[in-house]
Amino acid sequence: MTVIVSARINDGVVMAADGAGSMGSGQVYAHANKIANPCDELPVGAMSTEAGGIGNGFAETLLKDLRRQDREVASSGLWSM
């Protein structure tokens, strides 16, 4: 079971989730991160539920890869925010 909560406050949104995660094998991981910021430059948050996997990877890992690629493109000077 996954518990995810969000609350709107004056200055933004607060997001919280439990820390257990599992994949298709049923193995439970006690330190899963179900909340991630996919882009360092924007106030955007992503939350994952259920098994937390997309294909063969955890959603958290895929979001970290996206953020790393975003940094590489930004540092190359191809675009800027």
48 part of a folded domain: yes
- Residue 24's closest CA among 62, 47, 58, 48? 58
59 part of a folded domain: yes
Residue matched to tokens 């909340």: 35
Mean pLDDT of the chain: 75
58 part of a folded domain: yes
Query: Which range marks the domain in which residue 12 is found?
Result: 4-75
The predicted structure's pLDDT at residue 80: 52
The predicted structure's pLDDT at residue 36: 76
| Burial class of 34 by CB neighbour count within 10 A (0 to 12, 13 to 18, 19+) | buried
Residue 46 has pLDDT above 80, yes or no: no
80 part of a folded domain: no
81 part of a folded domain: no
Overall domain count for the chain: 1
19 part of a folded domain: yes
